[in-house]
């Protein structure tokens, strides 16, 4: 089984291969936003949401970070129906000042970064089909909503996302996009966190995938390495399989501190032309984390 993204997650994908994307981009505004048009979801769309939601929510207690579970609770997201974005926005604006905006799917990264820097999270409007429950090449409404939105209720994580968007706006000039995309991949999509009760998942790419949620915590196969900003930004990732390497933070404040206080420019200059560290590699300087703790 593969992770939910393949191919399209390359940082250059949205702009270079728009024809392969599934969404309807013709009605998007210049910032790529669209209307959610909630009334146009079919009963089948909602049934797919319900199926996905129920099987993931059952895994959260055992596998998800407490902050993620708290986010799911405070959003009051319905197990029954695809959420209405205006309902979500009432909760988000009152907690961290974020909101979600509807988009047709992957959008060019400069627009993606601009939304994040302004505390708007782009959520894809369409939902996958029945034969894609375990595997999908692009983010859909389930991945974006279930995976990403709950943690936007957490102040430290939300501040990191905003700082990430701001960093993205500078990175392209400095040749740093590839390194910055690795930070997003390993931390926002596939991040693990230590808790007093053992390792937990907070990454959206993991938490929207049943197979990888269990694998990332239970499997002896992958390496779990203590978060180190430079190490993460130098590491290549797998786009068509479960990860061989996960990075582990101790608390969301660490992520924010690294993303906000560090000047990425010297890192880009030092590493942007170097070959990436292959996934699954262990360096002598790596601090390996035992999954039991």
Q: Which residues are catalytic?
A: 143, 148, 189, 208
CB 199 → ligand HBI: shortest distance, Å?
24
Among 3, 181, 225, 277, binds ligand HBI (CB under 6 A): 181
The answer to whether the beta carbons of residues 178 and 124 sit under 8 Å apart is: no
The position carrying tokens 């390996």 is: 288
3-class DSSP state for residue 20? helix
User: Cβ of 62: how many Cβ atoms within 10 Å?
Assistant: 14
How large is the C-alpha radius of gyration of the chain?
Answer: 18
Nearest residue (CB) to Fe ion, 14 versus 139: 139
Nearest residue (CB) to Fe ion, 72 versus 289: 72
Choose the one of ligand HBI, Fe ion, none that binds residue 204, judging by a C-beta under 5 to 8 angstroms depending on kind.
Fe ion
Torsion angle defined by CA atoms of residues 163, 164, 165 and 168, in that order, rounded to the nearest 10 degrees: 120
Q: How far apart are CA 217 and CA 185, in angstroms?
A: 17
223: Cβ contacts below 8 Å, ≥ 6 apart: 244, 245, 246, 280, 282, 286, 288
Contact string (CB under 5 A) for Fe ion, positions 139-168, x = contact = x-----------------------------
Q: How far apart are CA 72 and CA 90, in angstroms?
A: 14
CB 191 → ligand HBI: shortest distance, Å?
14
Q: How far apart are CA 88 and CA 13, in angstroms?
A: 28
Torsion angle defined by CA atoms of residues 54, 58, 61 and 66, in that order, rounded to the nearest 10 degrees: -20
Nearest residue (CB) to ligand HBI, 34 versus 193: 34
Q: Is 107 in the site for ligand HBI (CB under 6 A)?
A: yes
Among 184, 190, 246, 252, binds ligand HBI (CB under 6 A): 184
Q: Is the dihedral of CA 218, 223, 226, 229 positive or negative?
A: negative
Choose the one of Fe ion, ligand HBI, none that binds residue 191, judging by a C-beta under 5 to 8 angstroms depending on kind.
none
Choose the one of ligand HBI, Fe ion, none that binds residue 112, judging by a C-beta under 5 to 8 angstroms depending on kind.
ligand HBI
Q: Is 11 in the site for ligand HBI (CB under 6 A)?
A: yes
3-class DSSP state for residue 146? helix
Q: Is the dihedral of CA 202, 82, 131, 107 positive or negative?
A: negative
Residue range at the interface with ligand HBI (CB under 6 A); choices 100-108, 151-159, 249-257, 278-286:
100-108
Nearest residue (CB) to ligand HBI, 31 versus 286: 31
Residues 113-172 that bind ligand HBI (CB under 6 A): 122, 124, 139
Nearest residue (CB) to ligand HBI, 140 versus 217: 140
Among 204, 233, 255, 289, binds Fe ion (CB under 5 A): 204
Give the tokens for residue 291: 């999954």
Residues that bind ligand HBI (CB under 6 A): 11, 14, 103, 106-107, 109, 112, 122, 124, 139, 181, 184
């Amino acid at each position: 089984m593969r992770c939910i993204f393949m191919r399209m997650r390359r940082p250059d994908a949205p702009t270079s291969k728009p024809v392969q994307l599934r969404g309807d981009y013709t009605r998007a505004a210049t910032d790529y936003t669209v209307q959610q048009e909630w009334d146009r979801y079919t009963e089948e769309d909602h049934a797919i949401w319900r199926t996905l939601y129920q099987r993931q929510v059952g895994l959260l207690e055992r596998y998800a970070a407490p902050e993620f579970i708290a986010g799911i609770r405070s959003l009051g997201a319905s197990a029954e129906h695809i959420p209405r974005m205006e309902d979500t926005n009432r909760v988000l604006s009152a907690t961290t000042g974020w909101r979600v905006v509807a988009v047709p799917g992957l959008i060019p990264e400069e627009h993606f970064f601009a939304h994040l820097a302004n505390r708007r999270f782009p959520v894809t409007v369409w939902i996958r089909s029945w034969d894609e429950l375990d595997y999908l090449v692009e983010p859909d409404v389930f991945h974006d909503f279930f995976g990403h939105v709950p943690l936007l209720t957490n102040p430290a994580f939300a501040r990191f996302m905003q700082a990430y968007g701001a960093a993205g706006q500078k990175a392209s000039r400095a040749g740093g996009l590839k390194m910055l995309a690795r930070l997003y991949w390993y931390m926002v999509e596939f991040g693990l966190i230590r808790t007093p009760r053992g390792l937990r998942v907070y990454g959206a790419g993991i938490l929207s995938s049943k197979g990888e949620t269990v694998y990332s915590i239970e499997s002896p196969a992958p390496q779990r390495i203590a978060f180190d900003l430079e190490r993460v930004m130098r590491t290549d990732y797998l786009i068509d399989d479960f990860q061989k390497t996960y990075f582990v933070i101790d608390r969301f404040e660490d992520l924010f501190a690294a993303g906000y206080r560090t000047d990425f420019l010297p890192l880009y200059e030092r590493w942007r032309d170097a070959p990436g560290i292959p996934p699954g590699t262990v360096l002598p300087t790596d601090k390996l984390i035992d999954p039991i703790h």
